[in-house]
Amino acid sequence: MQNTRHAQSITARCTGCQQLADERAPLRCPNYGQGDVDHVLNRCLPAGVELPAADDTHQQPYSRYRQRLWVYTLLRQRELTDRDYLDLVARIDEQIANTDGKGFCITPLSEATALAAAIGVEALWIKDETRNVSGSHKARHLMATLLWLEGTGVPRERPLAIASCGNAALAAAVLAKAVGRPLTVYIPPDARPSVVERLQQLGATIERCPREGSTVGDPCYHRFVAAVSAGAIPFSVQGPDNALALDGGLTLGYEIDEQLGPRTPQALLLQVGGGALASSCFSALLESRRDRPRLCTVQTRSAFPLHLALERLLQRPDLRRCAPNAETVVDQLLSEAAQQRSAFMSPWPTTPSSVASGILDDETYDWLFACRGMLCSGGTALIAEEAELARAHRLAHQHTAIDVDPTGSAGLAGLLASGDRPRSALVAFTGVTRGD
């Protein structure tokens, strides 16, 4: 590719306040924190421009899909050439492989015929993210931020911060260690010992955050927000705190699009904690294909804030339930909803507990784009019972060779919970089994 300016400049605009992103400080909306507004940046292709083609000379997702990523535009605007960007991806990927034993690659998508038969659906596809860097999909979200930090020369002393109880913290710690950047991880006191030990091995600073008094919301998240206010980089997998987390996650949806080709399952079932996975994945499918599955998100009976948000949106008379809604109608509605966030999304009032412990977020931070995916595809927000979560995990191990954990197989539990069960479905197994 020639050493020319990136022809198709991608931009980003806040869904809540409509402010254009500041490309020198692209992680958050310039008006972050102001009012009862969800300031999540929505990265957009220029009007009338088709999605750039994948560069199939590359198997590394951040190289293959680079012309679709906002971080690529941001770095080209900083005078990096296309070659510079590709070299940067290769250098960081090698450093990650030296730390974790593997770098980024296109993860497998395969048809699970035995599992489909056991559940009683005609066809079932599994996207296997247990093979990804650090054993989950979380590093995908963080790589775009790492490219921006390294490509723009953000000082190495500036600390990174993340709030997480498991996979996101581990992914952040692998990536931070790979490039030699300090990371502070805000975790709950009951985080698994095996996770804490691995975080320590990777050199992360660990801050335990107990729930105190009547304060609502996740105390780890509150401490993370305070650290970012004091100057830390939000090395977060949540879009409102770091828009590049959603940019990096797009690669997952683009891969699914290419791997499915002409086949389109009736439903895509994705487990939701913070909501970035469903947001990124389905945003990519909305861009890349006409024939889309219904997006069905899956939460546990213990905490389902996204389900409540969707129910509140569906009270609007201009929306048709269980039928795909026009994207322009949905975008207008979500822009209005983003300006009164607490009417749709608020912290879960009790402390949740589930075998799928990785999706018990107090709030679905990325509820807006997850709802967009469901509303534009005629999907729904499912709630899985504990027995369904346990059965899905058991069936996954009986009928596949993927060593998925109960959070990672929660999308499959949604299929078991689905009253109107689709004939064909795609699920993502997102996290590998770890010790206690």
Q: By CB under 5 A, how many residues form the interface with Zn ion?
A: 7
Rounded to the nearest whole angstrom, what is the least distance from the CB of residue 279 to Zn ion in the complex? 16
Please identify the residue of the shown chain whose CB is closest to the bound Zn ion.
14
CB under 5 A: which stretch of 18-26, 97-105, 226-234, 343-351 binds Zn ion? 18-26
Rounded to the nearest whole angstrom, what is the least distance from the CB of residue 193 to Zn ion in the complex? 40
d(CA 170, CA 182): 14
Residue closer to Zn ion (CB basis): 74 or 115: 74
Order across the sheet with 267-271: list the strands: 109-111, 123-128, 424-429, 267-271, 294-300, 380-384
d(CA 13, CA 62): 22
CB under 5 A: which stretch of 9-17, 148-156, 157-165, 339-347 binds Zn ion? 9-17
CB under 5 A: which stretch of 34-42, 114-122, 164-172, 246-254 binds Zn ion? 34-42
Residue closer to Zn ion (CB basis): 19 or 424: 19
Is residue 14 within the footprint of Zn ion (CB under 5 A)?
yes
Strands 123-128 and 109-111: antiparallel
Residue closer to Zn ion (CB basis): 29 or 86: 29
Among 26, 27, 28, 39, binds Zn ion (CB under 5 A): 39
Instruction: Yes or no: say if 73 and 9 are a contact pair by the CB < 8 Å rule.
Output: yes
Among 10, 12, 17, 80, binds Zn ion (CB under 5 A): 17
Residue type, 95: Q
d(CA 224, CA 218): 10
Residue closer to Zn ion (CB basis): 22 or 190: 22
Site string for Zn ion, 232-251 (x = CB under 5 A): --------------------
Rounded to the nearest whole angstrom, what is the least distance from the CB of residue 414 to Zn ion in the complex? 32
Residue closer to Zn ion (CB basis): 27 or 269: 27
Rounded to the nearest whole angstrom, what is the least distance from the CB of residue 35 to Zn ion in the complex? 9
Among 8, 11, 31, 335, binds Zn ion (CB under 5 A): 31
Could you tell me which residues are beta bridge partners of residue 128? Answer: 429
Residue closer to Zn ion (CB basis): 147 or 337: 337
Instruction: Yes or no: say if 197 and 169 are a contact pair by the CB < 8 Å rule.
Output: no
Rounded to the nearest whole angstrom, what is the least distance from the CB of residue 36 to Zn ion in the complex? 12
Residue 332 sits at φ, ψ, to 5 deg, of -65, -45
Rounded to the nearest whole angstrom, what is the least distance from the CB of residue 17 to Zn ion in the complex? 3
Residue closer to Zn ion (CB basis): 31 or 266: 31
Rounded to the nearest whole angstrom, what is the least distance from the CB of residue 260 to Zn ion in the complex? 34
Residue closer to Zn ion (CB basis): 16 or 408: 16
Residue closer to Zn ion (CB basis): 29 or 306: 29
Is residue 338 within the footprint of Zn ion (CB under 5 A)?
no
Is residue 28 within the footprint of Zn ion (CB under 5 A)?
no
Is residue 335 within the footprint of Zn ion (CB under 5 A)?
no
Q: What is the 3-state secondary structure (H, E, C) of the chain?
A: CCCCCCCCCCEEEECCCCCECCCCCCCCCCCCCCCCCCCCEEEECCCCCCCCCCCCCCCCHHHHCHHHCHHHHHHHHCCCCHHHHHHHHHHHHHHHHHHHCCCCCCCCEEECHHHHHHHCCCEEEEEEHHHCHHHECHHHHHHHHHHHHHHHCCCCCCCEEEECCCHHHHHHHHHHHHHCCCEEEEECCCCCHHHHHHHHHCCCEEEECCCCCCCCCCHHHHHHHHHHHCCCEECCCCCCCCHHHHHHHHHHHHHHHHHHCCCCCCEEEEECCCCHHHHHHHHHHHHHCCCCCEEEEEEECCECHHHHHHHHHCCCCCCCCCCCCCHHHHHHHHHHHHCCHHHCCCCCCCCCCCCCHHHCCCCCCCHHHHHHHHHHHCCEEEEECHHHHHHHHHHHHHHCCCCECCCCCHHHHHHHHCCCCCCEEEEEECEECCCC
Rounded to the nearest whole angstrom, what is the least distance from the CB of residue 241 to Zn ion in the complex? 13
Residue closer to Zn ion (CB basis): 14 or 250: 14
CB under 5 A: which stretch of 6-14, 199-207, 329-337, 427-435 binds Zn ion? 6-14
CB under 5 A: which stretch of 3-11, 27-35, 120-128, 367-375 binds Zn ion? 27-35
* Residue whose tokens read 């083609």: 53
CB under 5 A: which stretch of 28-36, 163-171, 252-260, 373-381 binds Zn ion? 28-36
Rounded to the nearest whole angstrom, what is the least distance from the CB of residue 29 to Zn ion in the complex? 3
Residue closer to Zn ion (CB basis): 28 or 294: 28
Is residue 29 within the footprint of Zn ion (CB under 5 A)?
yes
Is residue 16 within the footprint of Zn ion (CB under 5 A)?
yes
Q: Give residues in contact with Zn ion (CB under 5 A).
A: 14, 16-17, 19, 29, 31, 39
